[in-house]
Amino acid sequence: MKTLRLREGKERSLLRGHPWLFDSAIAKGGADAGETVRVESSQGAFLAWAAFSPASKIKARVWSFDESQRIDEDFLDGLVQKAVQSRLLFQIESSGVRLVHGESDGLPGFIVDQYGDTLVLQVLSCGVERFKSVLVKSLMKHTGVERVFERSDTQARTLEGLPPSTGWLEHPNAEKKTRLQISEHQWVLNLDIEQGHKTGFYLDQRASRRRFADYAQRMAFEEVLNCFSYTGGFSVAALTGMRSAGVLPKAGHVLSIDSSASALEMAQSNLRDNGFDAAHYTMMDADVNQSLRSFLQEQRQFDAIVLDPPKFAPSQAHVERAARAYKDINRLALQLLRPGGVLFTFSCSGGVSAELFHKIVASAGADAHVDGFIAERLQGAMDHPMTLNFPEGDYLKGLVVIRK
Ligand code: SAH
């Protein structure tokens, strides 16, 4: 068994149960990519079993803090079973569910989303890569799903020194369709696991889409702007609420903006498949920042605006620039809202805390000379759990602001 010996005083985060070990904490030792290592304090006391990542700044990710635990097929099968079973507690109103959420489920660098009869996974660490076939077997056993697709083509994988890897891992007979449909709340939503972002869909916004539909109904929105709409989840939500409120079919319009033409095509099919007439929606292939500025010049106003941008701050180093970018779009959006209008605003940057995001939106309001009630704080859906020991899991945060 290979060993990693830590520098003096560097065992503190492991003792608190945090699963990452940085390069700077290691005095000596190493192993092959993904190999299980015994992590020891500077005094040689056992701290954890971890998977070694030679190319990454995060040199090892913990499998277990229990010295008697063997890191083998049974152990990993137990983790997969626990992750899958825990989703039953979360009461998810969808056939699209995140079954494994990396560190939060004890499987650092492993993401698994279920879309009905298909599992889509991302392998983002050397440890998971080494055990990939074992993990796939467990997933199939505990879910009964037979179609497994891999989408390990993210930047995180590059940082691990692993080449991209995408395609079918398992599929019965010749059935290889990658355009799938899930049911979320009462909607049908189309997605593409091969071409789409991440594993194909943003399951993490499920609960917030539901909330947006509730507001649309309660406040009877007529003019809605969905910025960074991707495949139009928030647009479907808005029109659903507007239909229930009786705004449709006489009035009601949702404008979805995204810079990806293929995402907008999918958004179009999502709106159509949920029974909405094309008179009630428009897709705009454009840059959100520029569009918001033009709307302001044109003195357009909206009853509700969604701002769900991509990650502006992938890491701590980008936080300042990201803060300026968030502030800018939030300032513009607040100015474009009618009094009484509702802003759903999000950040999915791990480097931007909920507190900082609140400050950014507050200072956007100050610059816009607009005040608002903070009606709610939002976070990722329950199947993307945060845990006490892993604060980095708190990546998605949102605010609902009602303009005064
Ligand atoms: N709200 C969506 C997810 C948004 S993901 C949902 O619920 O599914 C962020 C989206 O922003 C992506 O679709 C990406 O194509 C788009 N995007 C990124 N930069 C953009 C820009 N400058 N202008 C418009 N869209 C942009």
Query: What does the pLDDT look like over 321-343, one tens digit per residue?
Result: 999 999 999 999 999 999 999 99
What angle separates helix 288-297 from helix 319-336, to the nearest 10 degrees? 30
CA terminus-to-terminus distance, the chain: 63
Cβ–ligand 1 distance for 228 under 6 Å, the answer yes
Same domain membership, residue 10 and residue 79:
no
Classify residue 187: in a domain, yes or no: no
Q: What is the pLDDT of residue 91?
A: 86
- Among the candidates 46, 64, 82, a domain finishes at 64
Same domain membership, residue 79 and residue 45:
no
Classify residue 268: in a domain, yes or no: yes
Classify residue 194: in a domain, yes or no: no
Alpha helices in 184-280 (DSSP H): 206-218, 233-244, 261-273
Same domain membership, residue 246 and residue 144:
no
Query: Average pLDDT over the chain, rounded to whole?
Result: 97
Q: What is the pLDDT of residue 323?
A: 97
Query: What does the pLDDT look like over 132-162, one tens digit per residue?
Result: 999 999 999 999 999 999 999 999 999 999 9
Classify residue 236: in a domain, yes or no: yes
- Ligand 1 centroid from CA 200, angstroms: 13
* Ligand 1 atom showing the smallest separation from residue 310 Cα: 9
Same domain membership, residue 220 and residue 364:
yes
Classify residue 116: in a domain, yes or no: yes
Same domain membership, residue 130 and residue 224:
no
124 residue type, one letter: L
Q: What is the pLDDT of residue 142?
A: 98
Split into its structural domains, the chain has a count of 3
Give the pLDDT band (50/70/90) at residue 315: confident
Q: How far apart (Å, rounded) are the C-alpha atoms in residues 102 and 398?
A: 22
Give the pLDDT band (50/70/90) at residue 216: very high
Cβ–ligand 1 distance for 52 under 6 Å, the answer no
Cβ–ligand 1 distance for 202 under 6 Å, the answer yes
Query: What does the pLDDT look like over 341-373, one tens digit per residue?
Result: 999 999 999 999 999 999 999 999 999 999 999
Classify residue 197: in a domain, yes or no: no
Query: What does the pLDDT look like over 15-45, one tens digit per residue?
Result: 999 999 999 999 999 999 999 999 999 999 9
Domain that holds residue 44: 2-64
Q: What is the pLDDT of residue 131?
A: 98
Same domain membership, residue 45 and residue 92:
no
Same domain membership, residue 349 and residue 293:
yes
Q: How far apart (Å, rounded) are the C-alpha atoms in residues 292 and 298?
A: 10
* Ligand 1 atom showing the smallest separation from residue 230 Cα: 13
Same domain membership, residue 104 and residue 29:
no
CATH, residue 48:
2.30.130.10
Q: What is the pLDDT of residue 175?
A: 75
Q: How far apart (Å, rounded) are the C-alpha atoms in residues 153 and 162?
A: 10
Same domain membership, residue 151 and residue 95:
yes
pTM confidence score = 0.97
Cβ–ligand 1 distance for 346 under 6 Å, the answer no
- 348 is a catalytic site residue: yes
CATH, residue 330:
3.40.50.150
- Ligand 1 centroid from CA 243, angstroms: 25
Same domain membership, residue 79 and residue 30:
no
Same domain membership, residue 54 and residue 144:
no
Same domain membership, residue 59 and residue 78:
no
94 residue type, one letter: S
Classify residue 335: in a domain, yes or no: yes
Nearest CA residue ID for atom 3, ligand 1:
230
Asked whether residue 181 carries a pLDDT value surpassing 70, the answer given is yes
Cβ–ligand 1 distance for 268 under 6 Å, the answer no
